[in-house]
Structure formats: C-alpha cells, structure tokens
Structure 1
Amino acid sequence: MQRSAAPVGLATNREGPFNPPTQVRQGPLKEANLDCIQSVLGLDFSTLLHRGPDLCSHRWISIGSCEMFALGSVLSQRGTVVKEQPLVAEDVLSGLSYFMLWNGEIYSHVDDKISERFQDQFSNDAEVLLSLLKDTSSPEEIVRQFSLLRGPYAFILLELFSGRVYFGRDRFGRRSLVGKRSHNLTSSVGMSLTVISSVFLEQTTNTTDVDDWVEIPAVGLFVGQFSRSNGAWCFSDFLLYPWTAEHTTLSYNVSSLDVKQASCVLSHSSVSIHLGISTSSSIEEVSLRFLELLLDAMKDRILLASVVCTQCSRMADPLNAASSTCEHARFAVLFSGGVDSTVLAALCDRFIPTNQPIDLINVAFAQTQVNRNSNDSTQNNFVVISPCEAPDRQTAWQSFHELCQISPTRRWQLVTVDVSLEELRTVRSTYIKRLLLPSRLSVLDDSLGLATWFAARGRGLLHTATVAERGSFRTAYNDLTVGSVSYTSPAKTVFLGTGVDEQLAGYSRHRTVFE
C-alpha cells in the first residue's frame, strides 16, 4: 500500500480556455514553502501531513490558464521504495498524461495473472495500478479497472490532455474522501468542486466554511471535467458510475450531490458479499466458514504489509524502506481484552514472524462519576475514576495473560495508554472534530475516533511477561512481570475490531446466556 492522504487544489486568476499542460513543477514539500502555498490556496495542510509521515511531495501543474496544486502525504505500506505522490504515467501513443493520488491497498485483481503483480510484497501496488490505467482507451475502461480490484482505497486520477478527473472510494467506503464545493459555476452543471482531499482542509471550522465541504459517498466512481465559469476553474460536469443500483438508493446523500448517473453499473465488481453460507448451514459450518474468511483477510493484510516498522523506516534510507532488518513490532491490535480484539490478536500470531513482538494497545479514559458517599450539596459531587480502574483495562490484563499461555514463544507486549480528562478534551477539540469534518460529531464517532487516535499514536507504558510466565498456567495475570517503561509503538499497521459492534458476541449478557 502506498497510503497517501492527497488533495488536489485549483487556484488561478488568469482567463482563457482549457489547454493541455504547459508546465509541471515537482519535488518534496519544504517547510519553508508550506505557509506560502497554504496562503495562496487558502487551505490548511496540517491534518493531512500528520497522516503521511514517510514522505510528502507536491506538484504544480500549469494547464493553460489554470494552475493546479497536487500534494501527496505518504504512509508507505507496500514496496521496497517509498514513492513520491502524485504518481505520473504517460502513454506515448495516445499522448495522455496521468497523475494519480492514491490512498489504499490492493490485495488482488479479478485476473489471476494481474493479481500476482499486486501480491508481490516488493512491488508498489499503486504503480502497478497506474500502469494498467494508462493502457486504457476510454473513461469506461478506467472505471472498470477500479471495479476489478479487491481492497480498501480512495483515489484521485487526473487525465490532463483530456481535462478529465476521476475519483471515488471502494464500495465499502473504507478510505475517506471529501470535496470543497465551488459557488462560481451555474446550477445547470450540477455539483462543482475546487478541492478534493482525504480530509477537511479549511483554515477555520466555522459553520460557513464547513458547509462548503461535502463527503464523497462510496456509491461509485465519479468522472468529471475541468470547467471554467465566472473567472474560476473547477471540477464539474460529473458522471457517476454506481457500484450497484442499490448503492445509490441506499445512500442518504447522493441526491444532494446533483450529478448525472451513467446508464451502466459496476455490478461485475470482484468484491462479493456472498459468503458461501446457506440458511441450512449448521452452526459448526458457519463458524468454520467465518474463520476461513477472517483468516484470509488477516493473511492479506499481514503478508503484504511493510517489511519495516516506523522506527526502522526513519533510520533507513528514506526512499528505501526495506534497507534495514526489522525485528520490532510491525503490527499492533487495539486491544480491549474483549472477544473480538483477542481473536484478532490470536490470528495475528499465526502469520507474523515469531521473532517479532505484537503490541496489544489498551486505551482507557479517566471518567467522572457521581460521588454517592457525599452528603454535602454545596460541593461538586463528582469524583474522577482512574483509567486503571476501567473495565477494559481489567479484561485486557486477563486476555493478555491468556494469550501468553496460548502462544508462550511469542513476545506479547501490552501497551497501556492512560488518557486524562484534560488530554481527552484537548484531543477531541484539536484533532478528532477536525478529522471527522464535514460530518457532524456523534457520540459513537467521538468514542471510536478517540480510541483509534490514541491507539494509532501508541504512546503509553510497556508491560511484558518473562518466558516462564508466558508458559505458566498458574501465574495470575496481576503477578506478571509488568514494567512502567515509557514506550511508543513502532507498528505501522493497527488492527481494529470496530467494524461491527461485538461481532463475536462479546457482551456479558451473551456469556450469561451461554453459561
């Protein structure tokens, strides 16, 4: 995966018709230039830059009277060399030039021979994809190529000489994509955008600025044109190629986009929701099939992941991530100690090399609780409950102990992250709210967003068990050799069990019924 949180911004004061590119300026984005570029475009790249720590690069593209800025901030997960984004490909025969900003990971393709190219651990999946796209001859062929992929992604593709832009998300919406609306074009052309990005980039978060932005729904792939009206360039005249007919009818915000729909749908997409389970299947058959699918998903994400952790990636040649041998934790699990996260950790153990530790990151928040023992109505009757007393912390210790018993040769590392009320409020207002824009913050968004943010940061206290303790069934979990060593997880990949609430029936009421 070349994960790139990538925006495209348009800015021009010149007039004239659309012309082919006349100039391209490219290179790494220097900090000294950042303030100037943000001022020209009226954007704030800070949130974007945090999402891609390995490499940040940009291109200025002059297209006649239009000047376009493309920025790629990369977290590299695939290939031996970190690639600058946007990626570029040129077709000598057609004269077309393609610029692609990619945030995703491709596990396979409908064509088995092409799949082999994507499944090569040392190849860059985004480069393989772009080589396929440049050999197409029509917009329909381009969107069809995306429909044949299996994996999470969001992308922006510019076809410069034709003046087309392609963008969209996989059919499950597993990568983010937003756009800033333009108010310069007439309503007859429908929706028009001046910026397409992984995240909200406005400099302020007031209501007026937020309302200019829209989440790009995962209903299909969009094809648009560079357009000009009232002295400003935009992306407009969009045609939507739906994943399925159901995608457009089920999505709550498709009608608000005001775009035309293609007569065909991408229903031949390689992603199938048919699990090979019939209504007459026994519980044992369903369980085995579920485990088979889950193992396949885990295997893809582990065997195709980066061969180095974030720490070794920084120490090695910045453009050659595989130039050093890494024996640190490349993988982590957001670990509550519940059934879902414990099963994910156990499955990770099957595929991750035995010489590498697995970080189990447990995030616990301080909470306020009514002090029922106080009779003084003049005082604040609330007490702060320490993160150490959180239920998830207790179950994490228990499950950590169980994993040590199940796989005693594995170096399991429990990372406890304690979040104070003050830090929680700061992160919520400074990062989480902005990352979720233009969507409004719900209670569930807030809860999952905070836990994911602190887990991804991975900063806490490291606890390990000795080899003897890992193999002992007599050792109580609170007697393990636990340290208070400050630690930041170097894992590049964090597994989360938040896709479906308690997929494996982990609530206590389910245990009660079972027992």
Structure 2
Amino acid sequence: MCGICCSVSFSVEHFSKDLKEDLLHNLKRRGPNSSKQLLKSNVNYQCLFSGHVLHLRGVLTAQPVEDERGNVFLWNGEVFSGVKVEAKENDAQIMFNYLSSCKNESDILSLFSEVQGPWSFIYYQASSHHLWFGRDFFGRRSLLWHFSNLGKSFCLSSVGAQMSELANQWQEVPASGIFRINLKSASISKSVVLKLYPWKYISKENVIKGCVNSLTQISANLPTFVSVVANEANLYLKEPVVPLNMMLPQASLDIHRSNISSTPPTRETLQVFLTDGNMKEIVQQFIDVLSIAVKRRVLCLPRDENLTPGKVLKTWNRKANVAILFSGGIDSMVIATLADRHIPLDEPIDLLNVAFMTKEKPIPTGLNKKRIKQKNCEIFSEDSSKNAAAGRGGGAAAAAATSPDKQFSVPDRITGRAGLKELQAANPSRIWNFVEINVSLEELQKLRRTRICHLVQPLDTVLDDSIGCAVWFASRGIGWLVSQDEVKSYQSNAKVVLTGIGADEQLAGYSRHRARFQTHGLEGLNKEIEMELGRISSRNLGRDDRVIGDHGKEARFPFLDENVVSFLNSLPVWEKANLTLPRGIGEKLILRLAAVELGLTSSALLPKRAMQFGSRIVKMEKNNEKASDKCGRLQVISLENLSIEKEITV
C-alpha cells in the first residue's frame, strides 16, 4: 500500500515545488514507512512526484524510483501472481525493472496484462515525454485526477484533499484501462489528450469484447480542455477474468425445494444439496480457489524471522499481522476460516467488529438508579478510544465493559460474538482477538468532519457516508478485548485488512438481485450480476481503499482475486445462487455450501445484512434518507475549519 501522487504544471506561475500541505498529510497517512519527492523539469512542463510507502514485502524501497534514463515510477499495488516476484523481492522495484526494459507500447500493455493483484501506478517516460497511469481491472486501488479549470496543471493522486472550490473537482480515474498523456504536446496545444488503452477480452475464437466504459462516458465530467481518445494502434490490455456465463437452463431445474420453502432453514437443509456429487465437486473447487486467494493475501507479509533457531516467540507476545472486517456473517466467517489454514498457528488474528451507539429508549422511573450507574460507566467516547490506543483504559471503562452495553448490542455485534465462538470451537489453539469497536454519535460527527469526509469523496451519497464511516472506524481497530476474566483496551496494528467485498456482487447477495429475479427471471439476474461486477470499481473499491489506507493499512479482497472471479464467472447462475429459496439459503448458495464443508454451523444460514444496517450507523442520525440521496454531511467544509484539525491524533 502506498500513497502516490504526480502534480504536473504547464506554466511557471502555476508551478509549486511542494504539494499542498493537506494533500501531503493525507498521502503520508497511507505510507508511514517512507516519504520522498522528486522533481522533473522540462522546458515545457514540470512534474512533481511524491511517494509514501507502507512497507509490506521485500526490501523497503523508497518511491518514486528513477532509472539512469530519467524514467520515474510510482506503484501502489501487490503482485500476487502473473509476474514473478521472489519472497524477498520488492514488487515495485521488479515492476519498474520490467517497465525500463519495455521497448514499445505493446510491451507495457503486455506487462500489465499479466499482473494478478490490485494496483494503481504512475509511470513517466522521459525520452518520449509520456505519462502513463491507470488502475487494475476491478479498480481495487484508488487513483484520482484533478484538472485545473485554467488548463495550466493537473494532478494524479491516491487520495484527494478538502478544497475551498467545488467538491467534485477530484474524480476517480475510471478503471477502464491505462491512460497515456504526451506532456510536451499538451503544453504546446494547451489541451490535455488522454489516450486510452482499454481492457478487452479475447476468446478462443479470437472475438474481441469491447470495453464497458465508452470514451464519451469517461469524457462526460471532464473540463472542455481535456479529451479522451482511443489509441491509434488499437492496442489493449487483456482482461484478467473470463466473461460471465449467461447460460440459461434448458428445462426446469430440480432444486431440492420440495420442503425447503415451507420450513425454517437448517444446516441439514444445505447438506441436501451436497448429496449431489456434481454440486459437491463444484463447492470443493470453489473452496480450493478461494483458499489459494486468501493464502496469497496473508503470506505476502514480513513476519518475525529474526528469532534464535529453535526458539519460538511466546504466543501471548505475538502481534497480529492480519485483521478481518468481521460481522460474523457468512463472508467474513469463510475468510476467517480459510485465513486460519494459512496464518502461522502461534500468530493471533484480529477480528474487527464495529458498532454505533443506538439511541436510548425511555427507562421506567424505578430503573433510574440503574441508568445513573450505566451513565457513570460510559466508556466508548472518543477520549476512551484514545486511551485504548495508548493502553490506558480507565477503571470505569473496565467496569462498564464487563457487562454487555445495550447501546452497542447491534446485530453485527451479536452475530460477531456468535461467529467468534464458532471459530474458537473450530480451532481453540488460535488466539482470536475479537475487537469490539464502539462509536458514539459525537465521535462519528467529529471524525467524519475532520478525517473521513475527504476520503469518501468524490463519492457523495448517504450510502457512501454510512459505509465509508463504518469501514474507517472498523479498520482503525481501536476498541476492547472482552473476555470472562477481563476487559482490555486494544489497538490492532495489523497492516493487512481482509474484507469480504465482492461476494454479494457475484453471488446475488443483495435484495435487488432477488427483486430483479422475481421480475425478470434468471436472465435478469445474470444481467444484474454482470452490472454489479462491472461497476464495483466506481461504486465501492476506490472509496474503501482510501478509507482503509488512511490508517496506514492495506485492504485485500480475496473474493476479487482474478482466479476466484474467473471460476465463479464460469459457472451458470443456478450453481451460485437459487433465489426461489428463502433468505439465508438462496442468496450466495455456493458460499453457504462451502461454509458447511468447512465445518461452520449457524453462520452458514445467516441472511445477508448490509454493514450500514448491521452496525446500526444508519440509525444514528437522519432516518428518513434514501441510500442514493446526496449526503449533506459529506459536503466540503471551509479551509479555516479544516486547519483546526491538522494534527488530530486518532
């Protein structure tokens, strides 16, 4: 994970040798282990490159990196497969070595077509004055662009900053392919031409499927002096996944539903499907490919390797390297179970469970004394969170946390605790750190205003606000470890955060999938799944990368591993979901069957519950909003108010 930025100026009066303070501050939070800037000046333009590294693999390599020919590279990504990177090598340096040896455009496209894993990058070719940049096929790493209204400068950055001007000036770079700008030509013509090298799929019959986002769509919100054109040679990147199987059944399916629809679902209900040998084999294949995806994401990490031979670090003294956004639902339970397979047994795993304070209900007069006692023991304010981070939780805090606090007894907390018990039963030798992260209304409002607001932007809906805030607090990892014996303040220092995003989109997990199926059948369901996966870069992933990266942590998405997506795309829809069946079984059916095969119990039957509802963040403020409404709470605040926050400690 890194914070990368390139600021380009075509005029001397608009050029600055330093990034604006707030933008630099936001980039440094993403990359706490190394910060470096590099200035490249030309008679026609100036480029200021800024790189901020979160060190996760190989030798710490400061960015930007530069070769002897003056080429410059900024990389925010992980090579999990496709391009060979040895265990002790740094993938940024390896990618730059390959790029430096590329002889033409086609070589560059071939390189990025091979990479499996999330990435965004900026690459400057000094001899040709070309600036290349882009995001991976799913857009798992954020990259924004901002063009000045005067046409004198533009900026590419992992994260934006609050601005006193219009809120929509930072926009996400579409995950439509790789872009190239000729900086010399742009300076002379006073216009910026973005040449697109799109993603395309080549089938065995050599039929080319066109890119999803048209040039017109990309250009729609750009200033008039910026245009997007296809590259002259019609070169393209090879899509890393196979297209979605849109096949429909030839006849009505035997879906084992004779008694399922009329009775409450049980684990035995799911086991009926596994009596079908073909289905059982498909489920095992799914487990295998997902397990490999999780393995790649939990083992590409520095671990305690400097121990004396034969000496094992005591388990209680070990720190978790991997955390999981954990609700106890089917997605996070399967990820946790598979992570348990591959993470060293003496290493704890952090399960990050977030809850937002629910509004208190009126209490009868006779219970006033009890209420006063509870009030005196309230611990989950911002101040106590800071104490937790420093390991200084007060006595009152410990006293309150020993008894369940109903104000934080939200659905995800309840299912999370139940999921913890399942994991402990499956592997009692593992230390499972169930981190109870509790957020008050006051803390939510303050940190949304001072930290989260600009991370969610340029997305701006009520849904973006709810999910963005919930993920930010969860991934921050400041909370409490509660056991029968004690309550401890705790802060997760795991640099890698696994999240289950991508499961619902591919496996018909949302209520809108069910609605589409009921009105348009399997054909409509296929189109809905195709649409969901096609828009995941702009709807979710850039935002989540910015939000999690703000803590100097890296989001990793096992369900969006290229091999996992290709496997699921290859299956007909009825082998992934069966929406004629009730909630808790029909949606994400293949994942529920995988959970049963992995030995999970009650969590395999939990119906889908979105994070904003499970954590109860939607209940904290306005209750009459629609998810698609523009959110006034995300509007840009004045720079004077912003300056108050600069050195906030979270």
Q: Pick the TM interval, shorter chain.
A: 0.7 to 0.9
Determine the structure 2 residue equivalent to 1:246.
211
State how 1:52-63 maps to structure 2 within 5 Å: 52-63=31-42
Letter in 1 for 2:238: H
State how 1:95-134 maps to structure 2 within 5 Å: 96-109=69-82, 115=83, 117-118=84-85, 120-134=86-100
Contact 2:452/2:469 (<8 A) preserved: yes
Contact 1:148/1:269 (<8 A) preserved: no
Return the alpha-carbon distance in structure 1 between the equivalents of residues 115 and 434 of structure 2: 36
The one of 460, 468, 488 equivalent to 1:449 is: 468
The one of 453, 458, 479 equivalent to 1:460 is: 479
Contact 2:70/2:125 (<8 A) preserved: yes
Question: Structure 1, residues 368-423: CA drift from partner, whole Å, max 9, x if none?
Answer: 3775999xxxxxxxx99955311111111111111111001111111111111111
Contact 2:320/2:492 (<8 A) preserved: yes
Determine the structure 1 residue equivalent to 2:381.
none
Determine the structure 1 residue equivalent to 2:175.
218
| CA shift for structure 1 position 140 | 2.8
The one of 490, 508, 529 equivalent to 1:487 is: 490
Secondary structure (helix, strand or coil) at the match of 1:158 reads strand
Determine the structure 1 residue equivalent to 2:459.
439
Change (3 A) 1:250 1:67: closer
Task: Name the count of aligned residue pairs.
Answer: 429
Change (3 A) 1:505 1:198: closer
Pairwise CA RMSD: 3.6
| CA shift for structure 1 position 446 | 1.9
Return the alpha-carbon distance in structure 2 between the equivalents of residues 396 and 157 of structure 1: 43
More moved, 193-202 vs 49-58: 193-202
Secondary structure (helix, strand or coil) at the match of 1:259 reads strand
Secondary structure (helix, strand or coil) at the match of 1:218 reads coil
| CA shift for structure 1 position 436 | 2.0
The one of 69, 74, 83 equivalent to 2:61 is: 83
Unaligned runs of 5+ in 2: 201-209, 251-276, 307-316, 366-374, 379-404, 512-580, 587-604, 607-650
The TM-score normalised by the length of structure 1 is 0.74
Does 2:340 align with 1:349? Answer: yes
The one of 498, 510, 513 equivalent to 2:583 is: 510
Change (3 A) 1:152 1:273: farther
| CA shift for structure 1 position 498 | 2.7
Unaligned runs of 5+ in 1: 16-34, 91-95, 110-114, 186-191, 313-325, 375-382, 464-479
Contact 2:17/2:39 (<8 A) preserved: no
Does 2:424 align with 1:404? Answer: yes
Question: Structure 1, residues 107-165: CA drift from partner, whole Å, max 9, x if none?
Answer: 112xxxxx4x32x2211111111111111112232122112211110000011222110
Determine the structure 2 residue equivalent to 1:297.
293
Contact 1:181/1:193 (<8 A) preserved: yes
Contact 1:224/1:235 (<8 A) preserved: no
Secondary structure (helix, strand or coil) at the match of 1:296 reads helix
Change (3 A) 1:416 1:482: farther
Return the alpha-carbon distance in structure 2 between the equivalents of residues 493 and 364 of structure 1: 21
| CA shift for structure 1 position 60 | 2.0
Question: Structure 1, residues 15-73: CA drift from partner, whole Å, max 9, x if none?
Answer: 9xxxxxxxxxxxxxxxxxxx9834xx586322221111111111122223533211111
Return the alpha-carbon distance in structure 2 between the equivalents of residues 420 and 284 of structure 1: 45
| CA shift for structure 1 position 194 | 1.3
Contact 2:323/2:497 (<8 A) preserved: yes
Return the alpha-carbon distance in structure 1 between the equivalents of residues 10 and 213 of structure 2: 34
| CA shift for structure 1 position 9 | 1.2
Contact 1:217/1:251 (<8 A) preserved: no
State how 1:8-157 maps to structure 2 within 5 Å: 8-11=6-9, 13-14=11-12, 37-38=18-19, 44-64=23-43, 66-79=45-58, 81-90=59-68, 96-109=69-82, 115=83, 117-118=84-85, 120-157=86-123
Whichever structure has more helix as a proportion of its residues is 2
Identify the structure with bigger relative contact order (alpha carbons < 8 Å, sequence gap 6+): 2
Change (3 A) 1:454 1:42: closer
| CA shift for structure 1 position 493 | 0.6
Letter in 1 for 2:323: A
Determine the structure 2 residue equivalent to 1:468.
none
| CA shift for structure 1 position 251 | 9.4
| CA shift for structure 1 position 282 | 4.3
| CA shift for structure 1 position 4 | 1.6
Determine the structure 1 residue equivalent to 2:623.
none
The TM-score normalised by the length of structure 2 is 0.60
